[in-house]
Amino acid sequence: MKRLLSMREALREAMRQEMESDESIFIMGEDVGVYQGVNQVTGNLIDIFGPDRVMDTPISETAFMGAAVGSAMLGLKPIVELQVVDFISVCLDPLMNQAAKINFMSGNQIHVPLVLRAAFGAGLGAAAQHSQSLEALFCHIPGIKVIMPATAYDAKGLLVSAIRDPDPIVFLEPRRLYSEETNVPIETYIIPISKADIKRQGKDLTIITYGSMLPNSLELASLLNEKYQIDCEVIDLRTLQPLDSQTILKSVEKTKRVVIIHEDIEFMGIGAEIAAQISQTDLIYKLKTPIKRFGAKFSPIPFAENLEAETLPQLINIEKQILAMFRPKL
C-alpha cells in the first residue's frame, strides 16, 4: 500500500522501522530528540524509543562523530545527524581517517556500520557557512559510500539500505526537497546502493543529475519537449559513490548527446568525473556534440537572494546551451 509522504516523513519512517527491528540502531546528534531535529526529520522518534536510542548531543561534532565511529566498531549501528553538511569541517578526521580506513587496515576484520545524515544545499538564504554542496569531497575518500536521494520514495529505500550496510555511508539530504511528496509504500523496502534510476525516458539527449537538481532537470526536459520536440532522458544518479557508470554509458550510447547538471561547484565536481568516464570509452567518437556540464560558480554562497540564485545553475542558461547543441536540427 502506498500513500503520499514528504521526504522528511519518509526518512523518519525508514529510521523508525529499522529501529523497531534492530535494537543495535540508535540516533545521535544536536537537537535530534526533544527539538525533533533542526530539519524536523527525527520528529517524535524520541517519544517512541527514548533518550538512550535518540540521543541529544552537546554542540561538539568532533566528540559525537568520534563516539559514533567507536560504537560502530564495537557492533552498534549509529545514525549520526549533522544539521548541515558544512559542519563536517570540524569533525572530518573520525570519518575520513578512522571510519573510512578501519576495514582496510584491519584486513576486513572490523566494519564500521555508520550512517552520517546531513542536509545540504543553497536556495534558502542560509549564506556561505550553511549552504554548501560537498558531495565531491566525500566521493574522494576511499572507504565511504555517498548517497543522495531526490524523492521521498528513493529516500526511504536508500536509507534502509544504508542502515543495513556494514560500511560507513554519507547520506546527503537536499533541504529544498524535504517537503516534496511522492507515493511511498508503508512496508519496508530497499533500493540497491550504486543503482541509478532513469526518471524520464528519451532518445535525443541524456541529462545526468542528482539531488536538488532533479526537479529542475525534469522541468527542463518537459520544456524542451513541449517547445522544441527535444526528447530528453533524465538519469537520477541517487548514489554518487560507487557510481552507476553502466546506466550512464548505456543512455549516452542511445542519445549521443550529454548534459550534466548538479548544484555543487562545477570546477572539479561530480560532472567532471562523469564526463571523463564517458570520454575514456569509444562513445567519445559517437557523440554528436561535446559534453556540457552545469554547476555552481566557484564562489561561496551569497546571502542575498538574487546573488545566491545567480551562483547556482539557471534553467534559462542551460536551455540556451542545449538549443545550441541542436541548432542544425531546429
Task: Look up 61 and say whether it is catalytic.
Answer: yes
Q: Which of 13, 30, 81, 130 is catalytic?
A: 130
Q: Taking the CA of residue 11 as centre, how many other CA atoms within 13 Å lie in the half-sphere pointing to its CB?
A: 30
Q: Taking the CA of residue 190 as centre, how many other CA atoms within 13 Å lie in the half-sphere pointing to its CB?
A: 11
Task: Look up 130 and say whether it is catalytic.
Answer: yes
Q: How far apart are CA 43 and CA 37, in angstroms?
A: 6
User: Quick one: how far is CA 62 from the chain centroid?
Assistant: 23
Q: Which of 61, 233, 263, 273 is catalytic?
A: 61
Q: How far apart are CA 287 and CA 6, in angstroms?
A: 39
Q: 262, 236 in Cβ contact below 8 A? A: no
User: Which of 41, 263, 309 shows the shortest CA–CA distance to 132?
Assistant: 263
Q: 271, 262 in Cβ contact below 8 A? A: yes
Would you please indicate which residues are annotated as catalytic (active-site) residues? Answer: 61, 130
